[in-house]
Amino acid sequence: MTPLGWFGIVRLGLVQMALGAVVVLTTSTLNRVMVIELALPALVPGLLVAIHYAVQITRPRMGFGSDRSGRCTPWILGGMAVLAAGGTLAAIATAWMSTQRYAGLALAAFAFFLVGLGVSACGTSLLVLLAKRVAAQRRAPAATIVWMMMIIGFAVTAGLAGRWLDPYTPQRLVAVSAGVAAIACLVALMALWRLEGRGGIAAGAAVEAEPKLRFLEALRQVWQEAAARRFTVFVFVSMLAFSAQDLILEPFAGAVFGLTPGATTQLSGLQHGGVLLGMIACALAGSRWGIGSLRSWTIGGCIASAFALAALVAAGVVGPRWPLHATVFALGAANGAFSIAAIGSMMRLAGEGRASREGVRMGLWGASQAISFGVGGLAGAVASDIARRFIDSPGAAYAVVFGAEALLFLWAAALAAGIETRAPQRRTRRWAWTRSTPTMPS
């Protein structure tokens, strides 16, 4: 198969943008409507979002389906259709809650189940297609392009939907959500038109040559691969540390540094700016300047994230005199560098091991990420509450949680350092994941 050029990578980025556009409405906009307009406890949208994460344990099965068929496009488009239906139903359910609360909640639970199912099928198969069709030296910049376009999709959709929803009515909420879902499906369809071709069918034929092979057997085969198993644990540990900080950083800044809600929101924006800078730096350093390998950037990014969290531990002890904004920006940059390098490594490792198992491997890692994200945010918030209950100083209590997250990142770096590919070589092309490539500090 001919590797995808930059235009083809951007087209896949458009699919990721469409996916993000639907997801941001269900996890952000509907969250706000339930809590503010409907005066529901924040636990309600939290549990609904947890359903969306829990369902993504089906990602390995979705990847197995694309492996058997030999084509990713039908799974991407099918997943997008299910996601669009789930997003629209979630808006209908939210509107219904204003008159029939319990019936609306039941429909919302089903809708978020569909959202998780759609994300699993579409997102997993999209990553498989990237892994199969992007040349090794372009994997990190390709991951950066695709994820930046998803972030753009978040921002554009949130901004436009916010304008279209004013003045708010339940009918307007349903209309906007349905419109965004329809546009997302159309964009995905146009972006994928004749992009994959028919080259992937040969891979599907390889799996069909094993007529008795079942999903659980394929999953067992992948789990027996040392690199795939270790990378699964790495994804869970690193993303647990990554997501655990989300719900406590702004409360920490308010409790210890006395920042207003507006100031903590700006602090969060500064962190996201650091994430984007880290992503771009990692992509340019490897693909354009040949500095470091994906493996070295993954390890270095985890270690740098641990040091940044250690600096937040010091901030909790020192208090307002600490340069909080610089520390949070550095944390974002380290997170961005490690996450893009890890995604690029994921694309490389998907093709290692037994043939025609790319979808199962990618699904396994995607499920690990989804579970860790669902657990991480809740665990960080609960841990901070427990620490504050037993430690009088708020700064010291938050410092304990940040310290635990730093240790998780160090564990993730150790896991990444121990991952070997099938055939390490003395000299490799840029971005090869082998022990022979020099380690690049983040």
Q: Which amino acid, residue 308? A: A
**Distance, CA of 272 to CA of 246 (rounded, Å):** 11
Q: Are 55 and 116 in contact (CB under 8 A)?
A: yes
pLDDT attached to residue 209: 52
Q: Is 90 in the same domain as 176?
A: yes
Percent of the chain exceeding pLDDT 70 equals 88
Q: Is 165 helix (H, G, I), strand (E, B) or coil?
A: coil
Give the residue numbers spanning the domain of 358. Answer: 218-442
Q: Are residues 222 and 209 in the same domain?
A: no
Question: Residue 421: what pLDDT?
Answer: 52
**How far is 430 from 300, CA to CA, in rounded Å?**
17
Q: Which residue, of 160, 192, 213, is where some domain finishes? A: 213
Tokens of 411: 């564990």
Tens digits of residue pLDDT in 29-38: 888 888 878 8
**What are 342-383's pLDDT values in tens digits?**
888 888 888 777 777 888 899 999 899 889 988 887 777 777
Q: Which residue has the tokens 């427990």?
A: 386
Question: Do residue 56 and residue 82 come from a single domain?
Answer: yes
Domain boundary residue, one of 164, 192, 213:
213
Claim to verify: residue 192 and residue 253 sit in the same structural domain: no
pLDDT at 148: 83
Please tell me whether residues 227 and 203 are part of one structural domain: no
Of 198, 213, 228, which residue constitutes the final position of a domain?
A: 213
Mean pLDDT of the chain, nearest integer: 84
Same domain, 235 and 303: yes
The more confidently predicted of residues 226 and 80 is 80
User: pLDDT tier at 208 (50, 70, 90 boundaries)?
Assistant: low
Spatial neighbors of 422 by CB under 8 A, at least 6 apart, are: 227, 352, 353
Region 200-210 average pLDDT: 51
Q: H helices within 246-289, ranges in order?
A: 249-257, 261-287
Shared domain for 46 and 1, answered yes or no, is yes
Q: How far apart are CA 59 and CA 271, in angstroms?
A: 29
Q: How many domains does the chain have?
A: 2
Check if the beta carbon of residue 411 is closer than 8 Å to that of residue 272.
no
pLDDT at 423 over 60: no
Instruction: Based on the fold, state whether residues 358 and 308 are members of the same structural domain.
Output: yes
Do the Cβ atoms of 225 and 359 come closer than 8 Å?
A: no
DSSP state of 210: S
What pLDDT does residue 234 have? 94
DSSP 8-state code for residue 5: -
Higher pLDDT, 386 or 119: 119
Per-residue model confidence as pLDDT tens digits over 18-60: 998 999 888 878 888 888 788 888 778 888 888 999 999 999 9
- Residues 203 and 233 placed together within one structural domain of the fold: no
* Close Cβ partners of 399 (under 8 Å, ≥ 6 residues apart): 312, 313, 314, 315, 316, 317
pLDDT in tens, 83-137: 999 999 999 999 999 999 999 999 999 999 999 999 999 999 998 898 888 887 7
Name the residue among 95, 114, 94 with its Cα closest to residue 23.
114
pLDDT at res. 18: 94
Residue 367 shares a structural domain with residue 439? yes
Both 388 and 264 in a single domain? yes
Same domain, 235 and 290: yes
CA distance 21 to 155: 8
pLDDT per residue as tens digits for the range 122-141: 999 998 898 888 887 777 78
Length of the chain: 442
pLDDT tens track for 2-15 = 778 889 999 999 99
Spatial CB neighbours of 290, under 8 Å, sequence gap ≥ 6: 430
E-only strand ranges, 194-337:
none
Q: What CATH code is carried by the domain that includes residue 414?
A: 1.20.1250.20
